[in-house]
Amino acid sequence: MNPIPESVLNVKGQTRYIDDLPEAKTLLHAAVAASPCARGLLKGVDAGAALALHPSIRIITAADIPGVNQLGTAVADEPLLVAAGSEWGFRGQALALVLADSVSLARRAAGLVTFSFDELEPVLDAREAAAKGLIILSPRTQAMGDTAAAFASCATVISGRVESGGQEHVYLETQAALATPAEGCAMRVISGTQHPTGVQEGIARVLGLPMHLVEVEAPRLGGGFGGKEDQAALWAALACLGARVTGKPVKLVLSRKDDMRMTGKRHPYSSDFRIGVDSGGKILAFEADYYQNSGAICDLSPAILSRTLFHAASAYRIPNLRVTGYMCRTNLPPFTAFRGFGAPQAFFVIEAALDAVSRRTGIDGAKLRRQNLLCDGDSFHFGMPVENCRARLSFDRLVEKVKWESLRRNIDSHNAKDPLVKRGAALMPICFGVSFTKLLMNQGGSLVHVYKDGSILVSTGAVEMGQQVSRKIARVVALAFGVGIERVRVERTTTLTVANTYPTAASTGSDINGMAALAACQEIRARLLVEAATLLGAPAPELSMESGRVMRNGSPTPLSWDELVTRTHEARIDLSAHGFYATPDLVYDMKSERGSPFAYHVYGCAAVTASVDVLRGTWRLDSVSVVHDGGESIDRAVDIGQVEGALAQGLGWALLEDLRFDEKGKLLADTLSTYKVPDFHFMPEKVDVEFLEGFPNHRAVMRSKAIGEPPLVYGIAGYFAVLDAIAAARRTAVGGEGPGLYDIPLTPEKTLDCLMGARP
């Protein structure tokens, strides 16, 4: 195998993340003094004790902001620093910036800054916020058919409530930024962001500069997962503010604890559903109300809610559907993008509804799900036709692969014999729409240089954060030029090389940026082939490039890549190009909630088995099997890594990661010793990922499919596998009617409570 150059640096410890960069002698380190309670009115900042600590200490407040004290885009509710006389909205919100000679001093001084304020009554619960009218923008509804009429004709109608908790990203590299003042009032920033242009825009606004004076570079990130999409701008802008005020470079690296308490996480949801089926189990109607706990700041909540609504029906055909989402403003940290982006919460609700149906009616869960799967010719509830549907294909392949029926029988016979360990299994399909649901964002640019020695440099808007998008783009480029991948270097994203980018998010990183890179390559390639035609005296249409050589009608010519490049350059022909791509055929009318907002959908199916220790109330994941619709993979190793990584995060969300706040809005799980993410032992030894072969996707680069987010949703099957095992242990707890409450994460505490009948 050809190792990924960046990975070689990783394993040797030579990758430079922001905190590893050489430091200027004049560098100042920053820390943030944050709000001490969930909601308060700031009256004043007392920096006396902090300043007394060391002469190098500087305290910067909202009054020092030269431009507009606002980072919010959808809603202007996100001040850089809360100004005296204003309210803050969550515990951990930035009130003052502290600068010092060393990071240790800065952090200690930040702890010494005190505030005079009036403490105000916080609202923490989404439903309470909704009842009080604390709704961001307005509720949004999508509907198809006539649910009221349909429910009347159903054999079974079930209502229920579903809760899903928040999730901390735990990117291993915390939020970080390094700002360096440049000539004039220009600013150069290295920011750990998935969205360089967003950071650039925020800084420009806060410093009162045009965007062309702000250069933002996104180096390789130590993980992002959505947490550095909108949430990185604040730290970069604060570093810039410090740099502007002092004229010195400023580095801001959050400690893990500050990162956990100050930054956004996955949105907790509280939802109500109502589902109706006919006597055979065919879904006739589904309704849901999603109360999204949006936290104190709007952030990306509207886009996340939008994805919830689009995925309300998962991979199922539901002729009558009505779903409404509420963005509830509370006094918790700003909940934000996290891999899956509102879809996992929606999938959990519909899966819970189907679980309830299966338990009530006695219809086998797998049969129930299969008979309701989408097919070509159906349409999604927002009017988009279902095309190239692989729901049944992947479902059936999975059932065959795991031998579902015999697996179930084995579990039942085990459970009949073992009083202390019960096993369970669950199976679920997915259907995940790819594209930003905000149309505007589905565009991207690239810049490709072929240097005269034949080496190639590619820049795109795709930020590398471990998802190995660079690998995929390098492959696309290498293939376009017919050269080995070692010739291609994918450069970090900066606003100098590619302008007006959109975040590397929504699984679209390689789709959009790969296409943009390809567009630039094709332009250069055409120029090269014209030159080759001259050199070889052959018509250009007969020529192609492969294996580092120009080919004529598929046969090698004497003209090598190196020579062609040299000769083309000597002929004074441009070896650089800018590429651009806008995802075609996307239309959506927000008013009627109708259109085709996605380029295509990703399908797949997962089966999870788990064991519950009846005595201790603990669970263990035994196996995960996945059949995934990944199109033609650009790089299979990368795709497997994405599926396995997403699975771990999805299973972690469903079972383990317990984002707890106290009754005053203080995050209790604010360190890695209290907030546990999947470790080596958590993941089952047996994780079997199979890709559907032979199903190219003609709507993305190199017939591939986006891979980042969809597999995270499979984690939900982990919840239902454990629930199934609990049901085997205590039929009355979750058998029959199903649990009174479907509640993620299903921690050992909840498991034992279920087993001992202490929960509904």
Catalytic residues: 709
Give the residue from 287, 358, 181 showing the smallest Cα distance to 734.
Answer: 358
Within 10 A of 375 (CB to CB), how many other CB atoms are there? 10
Per rule CB under 8 A, is residue 672 in the interface with another protein?
A: yes
710: which 2 tokens? 């969809």
Residue 671 in the binding site for another protein (CB under 8 A):
yes
Q: Please, which residue, 11 or 440, has the CB nearer to another protein?
A: 11
According to CB under 8 A, which residues from 172 to 231 bind another protein?
172-173, 220-223, 225
Contact between 16 and another protein by CB under 8 A: the answer reads: yes
Q: Are 189 and 18 in contact (CB under 8 A)?
A: no
* 334 close to 264: Cβ distance less than 8 angstroms: yes
Q: How far is the CB of 616 from another protein (least distance, A)?
A: 5
H/E/C letters for each residue in 404-434? HHHHHHHHHHHHHHCCCEEEEEEEEEEEEEE
Exactly one of 414, 489, 676, 703 binds another protein (CB under 8 A); that residue is 676
> Smallest distance from the beta carbon of 670 to another protein, in angstroms?
9
If binding is defined by CB under 8 A, does position 741 make contact with another protein?
Answer: no
Give CA angle at 544 (542, 549), nearest 5°: 125
The residue among 117 and 619 lying less far from another protein, judged by its C-beta, is: 619
Q: Which of residues 234-293 bind another protein (CB under 8 A)?
A: 255-256
Q: CB 641 → another protein: shortest distance, Å? A: 5
CA 256 to chain centre: 20
Q: Is 660 in the site for another protein (CB under 8 A)?
A: yes
Candidates 179, 175, 177, 166; CA nearest to 224 is 175
Structural tokens at position 55: 């002469």
Query: Of 673, 694, 698, 732, which one interacts with another protein (CB under 8 A)?
Result: 673
Give the residue with the Cβ less far from another protein, 594 or 666.
666
Q: Are strands 741-744 and 156-164 parallel, antiparallel or unpaired?
A: parallel
Residue 246 Cβ vs another protein, minimum distance, rounded to whole Å: 22
CB of 669 to another protein, least distance (A): 6
Q: Of 283-291, 492-500, 589-597, 654-662, which part binds another protein (CB under 8 A)?
A: 654-662
- Closest among 282, 281, 624 to 428, alpha carbons compared: 624
Whose Cβ is closer to another protein: residue 145's or residue 748's?
748
Whole-number Å distance between alpha carbons of 501 and 511 = 14
Q: From the list 46, 632, 644, 690, which residue makes contact with another protein (rule: CB under 8 A)?
A: 644
Which one, of 725, 717, 721, lies nearest residue 752 by Cα? 725
167 versus 320: smaller Cβ distance to another protein: 167
Regarding 734 and contact with another protein (CB under 8 A), the answer is: no
Backbone angles phi, psi at 754, to 5 degrees: -60, -45
By CB under 8 A, is residue 20 in contact with another protein? yes
What single string gives the DSSP state of each residue in 450-469? E-TTS-EEEEES---SSS-H
Task: Please state the closest distance from residue 210 (CB atom) to another protein, in A.
Answer: 33
For residue 663, state whether it binds another protein (rule: CB under 8 A).
Answer: no
Instruction: Tell me if 314 contacts another protein by CB under 8 A.
Output: no
The rounded distance, in Å, linking the Cα atoms of 516 and 511 is: 9
Minimum Å distance from CB 708 to another protein? 11
If we measure between CA atoms, which residue out of 43, 327, 280, 278 comes closest to residue 156? 278
Residues 458-517 that bind another protein (CB under 8 A): 465-468
The residue among 4 and 439 lying less far from another protein, judged by its C-beta, is 4
The residue among 142 and 468 lying less far from another protein, judged by its C-beta, is: 468
Tokens of 18: 């922001």
What x-and-dash track marks residues 681-710 binding another protein by CB under 8 A?
A: xxx-x-x-----------------------
| CB 721, min distance to another protein, A | 16
H or E segment at 566? helix 561-570
What is the per-residue DSSP string for 39-96? SEEEEEEE-HHHHHH-TT-EEE-GGG-SS-S---SSSS---SSPPTTSEE-STT-EEE
Of 11-19, 132-140, 159-167, 719-727, the window that binds another protein (rule: CB under 8 A) is: 11-19
With CB under 8 A as the contact rule, the residue among 648, 725, 733, 744 that binds another protein is: 648
Q: Rule CB under 8 A: say whether 431 interacts with another protein.
A: no
CA distance 330 to 123: 5
Counting contacts by CB under 8 A, is residue 451 touching another protein?
Answer: no
Kindly give the pairing relationship between strand 94-100 and strand 28-34. antiparallel
Provide the edge-to-edge strand list for the sheet that holds 87-88. Answer: 87-88, 40-46, 114-119
Q: Taking contact as CB under 8 A, which single stretch among the options 171-179, 342-350, 451-459, 567-575 is the one that binds another protein? A: 171-179
Choose between 420 and 741: whose C-beta lies nearer to another protein: 420
Identity at 664, one-letter amino acid code: K
Q: How far is the CB of 56 from another protein (least distance, A)?
A: 15
Size of residue set near another protein by CB under 8 A: 80
Please, how many CA atoms are within 13 Å of residue 347, restricted to the half-sphere of its CB?
A: 29
**Which amino acid, one-letter code, is at 448?**
V
Q: Which residue in the set 229, 230, 531, 658 belongs to the binding site for another protein (CB under 8 A)?
A: 658
Considering only residues 26 to 85 of the shown chain, the ones binding another protein according to CB under 8 A are none
- Establish if 717 lies at the interface with another protein (CB under 8 A): no
- Residue 680 makes contact with another protein by CB under 8 A: yes
Q: Is 11 in the site for another protein (CB under 8 A)?
A: yes
163 forms part of the interface with another protein (CB under 8 A):
no
97 binds another protein (CB under 8 A): no
Closer to another protein by Cβ: residue 77 or 753: 753
Instruction: Select from 24, 149, 420, 741 the one that contacts another protein (CB under 8 A).
Output: 420
Is there binding between residue 24 and another protein (CB under 8 A)?
no
* Footprint (CB under 8 A) of another protein, residues 587-626: 614-618, 620
Q: Pick one of 656, 706, 726, 727: the residue that binds another protein (CB under 8 A).
A: 656
Buried/exposed 580-592: b ≥16 CB within 10 Å, e otherwise: ebebeebebeeee
Minimal distance in Å, beta carbon 486 to another protein?
A: 14
Task: Report if residue 637 touches another protein, rule: CB under 8 A.
Answer: yes
The Cα-based distances of 432 to 210, 242, 605, 703 in angstroms read 38, 42, 12, 17
| Separation of CA 356 from chain center | 29
The answer to whether 679 contacts another protein (rule: CB under 8 A) is yes
